[in-house]
């Protein structure tokens, strides 16, 4: 059995990504397409997860995503990600997306998401991740909230597994 890697503070893996929204990213109304925003969220989330785990990570779930306000073509989108809590092989990552008005120097919140990533070895097998050390008041609150969300998520995963095992024999295209 290999030893669990050393614990790290939240700030060591916090990540950021900036994107200017182009017409190719937009829907028919000229707003950023939701699926494209989800891709940006997944990428910045994976960056924080892999930095913390010091390993490859895969997205296990994106369990909460609010689109609070539309993002328009030409907007400067800023995405920030942070490890809320590390469990055994998985981590909850929080992502906050904002639009920066660089003329007024203001930030507008547009989306928040919680994702779970699992650290894997080169064979795709889950491996243990370092514990996370929350330091600030916000980090401690997110750490505690992530524990509650994990309980809800776990119950939902179990419910779906049981449901799948009941329905699976009847599934066909
Ligand atoms: C994520 C995955 C590795 C979990 O496999 P599994 O057989 O359930 O593995 P385990 O039961 O050992 O669980 C591993 C970890 O994943 C977590 N997990 C499993 N399913 C989960 C889900 N739906 N949501 C959140 N976490 C989940 C478990 O809680 C566990 O975390 P822990 O060790 O911190 O407690 C597997 O479902 C998978 O490979 N999925 C595809 C991932 C992928 O390809 N993502 C890219 C999107 S295309």
Residue 172 has pLDDT above 90, yes or no: no
pLDDT digits (tens, 9 = 90+) for 123-140: 999 999 999 999 999 999
| Domain boundaries 8-170, corresponding CATH code | 3.10.129.10
Residue 2 has pLDDT above 80, yes or no: no
Using the atom order of ligand 1, give the atom closest to the CA of residue 120: 3
Number of helices (H) and strands (E) in the chain: give both, helices first. Answer: 2, 7
Instruction: Write phi, then psi, for 118 (nearest 5 degrees).
Output: -115, 130
Measured in Å, residue 51 CA sits from the centre of ligand 1 at 18
CB 58, CB 118: distance < 8 Å: yes
Question: What is this structure's pTM?
Answer: 0.92
Q: CA-to-CA distance for 109 and 96, rounded, in angstroms?
A: 8
Measured in Å, residue 118 CA sits from the centre of ligand 1 at 6
Measured in Å, residue 116 CA sits from the centre of ligand 1 at 8
Using the atom order of ligand 1, give the atom closest to the CA of residue 87: 34
Out of 126, 130, 152, 157, mutate this one to test ligand 1's pocket (max ligand atoms within 8 Å of CB): namely 126
Q: CA-to-CA distance for 10 and 12, rounded, in angstroms?
A: 5
Domain ranges across the chain: 8-170
pLDDT digits (tens, 9 = 90+) for 74-94: 999 999 999 999 999 999 999
- Mean local confidence (pLDDT), 34-51: 97
| Alpha carbon 83 to chain centroid, angstroms | 8
Measured in Å, residue 89 CA sits from the centre of ligand 1 at 9
Query: Closest Cα to atom 17, ligand 1: which residue?
Result: 90
Ligand 1: residues within 6 Å at CB? Answer: 58-61, 87-90, 116, 118, 126, 153, 157
Measured in Å, residue 117 CA sits from the centre of ligand 1 at 8
């Amino acid at each position: 059995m290999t030893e669990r890697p050393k614990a790290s503070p939240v700030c060591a893996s916090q990540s950021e990504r900036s994107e200017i929204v182009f017409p190719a990213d937009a829907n028919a109304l000229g707003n950023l397409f939701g699926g494209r925003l989800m891709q940006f969220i997944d990428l910045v989330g994976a960056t924080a997860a892999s930095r913390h785990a010091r390993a490859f990570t895969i997205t296990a779930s994106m369990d909460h995503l609010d689109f609070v306000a539309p993002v328009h073509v030409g907007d400067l989108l800023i995405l920030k990600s942070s490890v809320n809590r590390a469990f055994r092989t998985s981590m909850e990552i929080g992502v906050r997306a904002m639009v920066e008005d660089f003329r007024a120097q203001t930030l507008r919140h547009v989306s928040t998401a919680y994702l779970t990533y699992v650290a894997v070895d080169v064979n795709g097998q889950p491996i243990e991740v370092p514990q996370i050390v929350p330091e600030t008041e916000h980090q401690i609150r997110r750490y505690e909230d992530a524990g509650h969300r994990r309980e809800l998520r776990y119950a939902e995963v179990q419910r779906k597994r049981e449901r799948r095992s009941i329905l699976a024999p009847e599934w066909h295209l």
